[in-house]
A and B are shown apart, each in its own frame.
Chain A
Amino acid sequence: MKVLRFEGSAHSETERLLPWYVNGTLDDVEQARVDQHLTLCPRCQREVALLRELQSACADAPAPAQLQVDPTASFRRLRDRLQPTRAQARKSLLARTRDAWAGTPAWLRAAVAVPSALALGLFGLVLFRGEPPAAYRTLGDAPPADPVASADLRHLVVVFDPHIEHARMQQLLRASQARIVDGPNEAGAYVLAVPAAREASVRDALRAAEGVTMVESLDPVERR
C-alpha cells in the first residue's frame, strides 16, 4: 500500500481528519482547523454527517451470539492454562520426569527401565567415584569416620535449585542430620552422608522440599 502524504490542499488535509473529528479526539489546533473549514465546505459537512452515521452503526453493532460468552468461564479456562505453565516451571526435574514416566506406555517403561537402572548406577558411581571426596579437612569438620562408622552411613546425591538461598540449604541439611561429604561438582550435585536408619525418610523429605531439584540414593549399586 502506498502511504499517502496528507499535505495537499486545506480541503484534502481536513477531509483526512474527519473520522477523528467525529470521534472527538483531535487536538485543539486540528479541531480549530476543521471547524473553520467546515463552515466553508458543504462536501465536508456531508462527509461528517455520513461518518457520524457510520460511527453510530459501528458502535451499536451487537456482538455475534456465539461470542456472547460468560467471562467467568473463559477466565477460568485461561487461568487453568496459565497456572500449569508456572507450576511446571517450578516443578522439580524429578517430578517432571515422574509425570512423563507415568504417561509412558507399560511396554515402553519396561524396555527403558532395565538399561536405565544400570545407567543410574553408573551415574552414581561416576558422581561418587569419578570425583573422590576432598582430602582436606577444615577445623569445623568432624574427624574422619572410621571404616566401621562409615558402614552405618548412606549416601544421597542431591541437586539443589541453583537459586536456593544458602540459609535455606543449611536449614535443610540440619533438619536431615545430613553432612555434605562431596560436591558441588560441575553438575551442581552434592553427596550427602546420612545415618543409614534415616536414609529413606531423609530422601523423601528432601524430595518434597522446595529448592531441591533431585535426590537419589547412591548406595544401592555400590554397597548392597
Chain B
Amino acid sequence: MGSEATRGDTLVDEVALMERVAAEQMDAFEALYRLYHPRLTRFLMGMTHRPALVEEILDDTMMVVWRRAHTYDPEAKVSTWIFGIAYRQALKALRQCGVDASVGDVRELGDLGEAALPSAQVAPDVELHQRDLRAILDQAMRALSAEQRAVIELTYYLGYACREIAIIMDCPVDTVKTRMFYARRRLKALLGASCEEAM
C-alpha cells in the first residue's frame, strides 16, 4: 500500500490528491473519500464492533482530513496518515461512550452466548468451514480490546507492516507486537483446541 492506490483499474496518486485537497478542491476530496470509504468502514467496524458509531467516526475522520490536509507531510504515506486519524477518532468516540479501548467487551467465552460457537462446541469433530470460522472469529474478537482488534485489522485486513502500525497507533513497535501477542493468545484460548485444529 504505497503512495499509489488502485481504484478500479486506475492508479491513483494519493500524494497528488492530498495536495489538491489541501488546496480545498472539493472534487479531489470526493475522490479521496470514495477511495477510503470502504477501507475505513471496515477498519472502524473491526476496531469498534459498534455499527452505530462507524459512520459518525468515518465522517469525523474525513472532516479532520479536509481541515488538516495542509499539515500532511508528503514524505509519509497518505494511508497511514488517514488511518492514524481514524484510529484516534475511534478512540475518542469509544471514550465518549465510556468504553476503555484497552479492555475487551466480554471477558469470557461464556459471555458470548450459545450462538457464538455454532460448530466448535456443538460438533467439535465436524470440519469447520470458512463461514463458521468467520462467525466464531467475529464473536471471539469481541473479547479483545479495541486496541488489539485495531492491530489485527491493520495487519490481516489492511496488510500493514508492524512499523507502519506503530505510526498509525502512535506507539513503539514493541507495543504493537505486544498487543498482537496478547490478542493471539486470547483468541487461541477463546476459540479452543478444537477450533485451532480446524483452523
Binding site for B on A (CB under 8 A): 1-6, 16-17, 19-20, 22-26, 49-51, 53-61, 63-64, 66-67, 69, 71, 74-75, 77-79, 81-82
Contacts and interface: CB of A to CB of B under 8 A. Distances in A.
Contacts of A78: 33, 59, 62-63
B152 interface: yes
Interface string B152-180: 11011101111010000000101101111
Nearest to B172: A3
Q: Is the interface of A mostly helix, strand, loop or mixed?
A: helix
Can you list the 3 inter-chain pairs with the closest CB atoms, starting with the nearest? A25-B161, A58-B156, A53-B199
A69 B63 contact: no
Interface in B34-91: 34, 37-38, 41-42, 45-46, 51, 54-55, 58-59, 62-63, 66
A54 B144 CA distance: 15
A55 B155 CA distance: 8
A49 B153 CA distance: 18
Contacts of B26: 79
B133 A53 contact: yes
A16 B180 CA distance: 8
A66 B51 contact: yes
A61 B138 contact: yes
B138 A20 contact: no
A4 B199 contact: no
Query: Looking at A4, A20, A60, which has the most chain B CB atoms within 10 Å of its CB?
Result: A20
Contacts of B121: none
A82 B63 contact: yes
A81 B178 contact: no
A71 B63 contact: no
Nearest to A7: B174
Contact of A75 (B33, B51, B177, B178): B33
B156 A4 contact: no
Contacts of B155: 19-20, 23, 55
26 contacts: A1-B102, A2-B178, A3-B172, A3-B174, A3-B175, A4-B174, A16-B177, A22-B156, A23-B161, A25-B161, A25-B162, A54-B156, A54-B199, A57-B133, A57-B134, A59-B156, A60-B134, A61-B46, A63-B38, A63-B41, A63-B45, A69-B41, A71-B34, A78-B59, A79-B30, A81-B63
